[in-house]
Every structure is written in C-alpha cells, then in structure tokens.
Amino acid sequence: MTEGRWLELAEGVYARRYEELDLTTGLVVGTERCLVIDSRGDVDQGTELAAAVREITSLPWAVAYTHAHFDHCFGTTPFLPCEVWAQAGCVAELAAYGERARQRRITTYREEGKPHIADALTRTTIIPPGHLVTDRAELDLGGRVVALVHPGLAHTDHDLVAHVPDAGIVFAGDTVEHGPSGFTADSFGTDTHLAAWAAALDRILALRPETVVPGHGDPVDAAFLTRHRDGLHRLVILKTAVAAGETTEEEAVAMSPYPADVTRAALSTP
C-alpha cells in the first residue's frame, strides 16, 4: 500500500493524502504545539502518521477528530498521551457503535484480501475524546489559533471542522468529500442528516475559506462547496418528492445532478 504524502497548503499547514480510502488528514503547526486533524483508521496507520508528523515538527501535539467513523479516529494510541478533541456527540457515537464498527471493518478487510489492515484493527484500541466541543472552541498553538467548529448536522450529528483563519484554510472532515462527482455513495449513511447538510456547508462558507480540505480527496475551493451545497438542496427536493409519491425513485435518479449510486444512497437516508 502506498504510504502518505504531504501537501503544504500554507506555512505550517499541511494535508496528508493516502491511497487507502482516499483519506486526507491534517496538521497545523504553531510555535508551541501542533494539532493533528484525524488519526487514520488503525494503530499501524496511526503509527505511520505520527512518524510523518515528526518529520515536520517535534512540538507537542493534540489530536482532533472530525467525526467518529473508524478511518478518521481509530489510529490515536501512538499519539498518547495528548489532548484529544471532538464534538460532544462523538463520545456517545464511539461508545455505542465503535466496537461494532471495528469488528465489521476487520471482516471487510479480510474479505477484501487486506489481512494486514484487519490484523492491525485487531490490535487497535479505540480512544474516546477527552476535550469536547459543543459549538466552538479555540486552540492556541502559539502564534496561531485554530477554531474547532461544529457546523451543524451533516455527514453525522457530531461533525467538527478545524478553521485556520490566518491561512484561510478549513479542514472539513467528511462534511466535504472530493470524489469523482463530488459526493460519493459512502458520503450518505444511516447517521447522515441530508436535509440539514446544506446549512452546515453554509456555515463553513461563512468562514470565508480559500482552501477546504475534505476528509477524502484533494483540497478544494469555496466554489466547490457552493456547487455541492446547491446539489444537496436538489437531493433534498428529490427525496421529498419521492416520499410524497410525486415522483418515483427512478425518475429522481434521472433528474439528479449526481450519479445513480450517489443519488440512491442520498435518497435512502433517514
């Protein structure tokens, strides 16, 4: 498996890209400490990321989870001891579903012929966050402040974005994904809040970012967010029409700005 590569987005602000799941993590460096945004999906992947961070800086670190899905927060043990930040709802999500997700992914990776990842997940301990954000918190890294912001209901009910105002950069987690068509089918799950998601993107846009780092895919600009905010509005209209019996699912798929698999996933959200 190809290991990660750093993208320097601004002085002291980096994204790290991975082939596995097209994942993107983040690093923000101040003069006194640094913030790692998402820790990858298992203890071995977290070890790789921690070593990569040490290639950039030797400063003490904190970790922030953008949300509780395994690929973003199961790799934390190599960073301990440190502060671990997340939106308040992340704690309950990990307690209720974290172990189930770990076991499911172990099975999936074995079926996919990736036993090294499955084995790593069997050795992985899920670390709950100890520093919780309800709406907004600011972390002083020394000469640089990072705002941790809950944009509202979106990909989950506990999404958290990291805003680096002096660089005009937002690490958005899976509130933003940069797949071939923008969203992917995996963007929409049983914990997705489709009707509210566009408003969450509006809150991110209100931060006036020049660069937005998605949870999966390469960095994008504000125009990308605007386009897919409008796409979410369209998906909500189609979902409402299907629920009211005004159109069929097949007709909705044909009218959608997104591919069929993405549209069907969105239509199937609660």
Tell me the backbone φ, ψ of residue 51, rounded to 5 degrees.
-65, -40
The SS3 call for residue 202 is: helix
Give me the chain's average pLDDT, please. Answer: 97
Look at residue 251 in the predicted model and tell me its pLDDT: 98
Tell me the backbone φ, ψ of residue 79, rounded to 5 degrees.
-90, -15
Closest residue by Cα to residue 74 from 126, 116, 36: 126
Per residue in 125-169, pLDDT (tens digit) is 999 999 999 999 999 999 999 999 999 999 999 999 999 999 999
Residue 13 to residue 169: CA distance in whole angstroms: 8
Where along the chain do its domains lie?
5-221
pLDDT at 215 over 90: yes
Question: Which letter, b or e, does each residue of 22-53 get, where b requires 16 or more Cβ atoms within 10 Å of its Cβ?
Answer: bbbbbbbbbeebbbbbbbbbbbbbbbbbbebb
CB 172 within 8 A of CB 212: yes
Domain 5-221's class? alpha beta
Per residue in 50-73, pLDDT (tens digit) is 999 999 999 999 999 999 999 999
- CB count within 10 Å of CB 11 equals 9
185: which 2 tokens? 């089918």
CB 102 within 8 A of CB 70: yes
105: which 2 tokens? 């992914």
